[in-house]
Amino acid sequence: KAGVTQTPRYLIKTRGQQVTLSCSPISGHRSVSWYQQTPGQGLQFLFEYFSETQRNKGNFPGRFSGRQFSNSRSEMNVSTLELGDSALYLCASSPEAGVNEQYFGPGTRLTVT
Amino acid sequence: LAKTTQPISMDSYEGQEVNITCSHNNIATNDYITWYQQFPSQGPRFIIQGYKTKVTNEVASLFIPADRKSSTLSLPRVSLSDTAVYYCLVGPMYNFNKFYFGSGTKLNVKP
């Protein structure tokens, strides 16, 4: 079975721009979660989608949004980028919502200049 | 969720058994203990999960004493490729989005 895939792997954007990241979960997995990882804050939960519905949301500003499609693929969008948004954005999938065994993708490295 | 404490870093040599201990003094009755491994610039990878006593899979063993206030991840005969950060997470099932990864334990395996 193919693992979680994320595109693009690397991205460089300028402050004020917006960005969309994509995640394809493992086949059959209906839950997709997004995380931000930075050296200073560690791994922080952004949001979780299950069957196209946002199930949980972390403590991030409204500039961070996401959605899930009927095939379970998910996208996250960050508008009005700030320098502090530079991070590794990770997507994880699981068969059910919120379970402790999550399958993470390789991440998208976003650099905001 | 229960707070966990792990060593910041550990050194080992190839072929040795490595034991990483995690303290979770205020673990709740319905909490599970889950360990993840992360290599640089990659997503974390699930290693093992347990509730009590001992759990073993093809990668590692997890030892949990009766009081469940600590747990030990045991990696048998480590190799250079086991150099990574290891995270101990404690919390109830179906609540993963609230887990706090912390700094983890940086394991450095030397030749």
Question: Residue B44 and residue A58: Cβ atoms within 8 Å?
Answer: no
- Residue count (chain A): 113
Cα–Cα distance, A22 to B30 (Å, whole number) = 34
Name the minimum distance, in Å, from the CA of A78 to any CA of chain B. 20
Of A42, A97, A104, the CB nearest to B45: A104
Q: What number of C-beta contacts closer than 8 Å exist between A and B?
A: 61
CB-CB contact of A85 with A30 (8 Å)? no
B35 CB-near residues (< 8 Å, 6+ apart): B22, B46, B47, B48, B49, B60, B62, B73, B86, B87, B88, B89
In a structure prediction context, what are the per-residue pLDDT tens digits for chain B, which is 111 residues long? Answer: 668 999 999 999 999 999 999 999 999 999 999 999 999 888 999 999 999 999 999 999 999 999 999 999 999 999 999 999 999 999 888 877 778 888 899 999 999
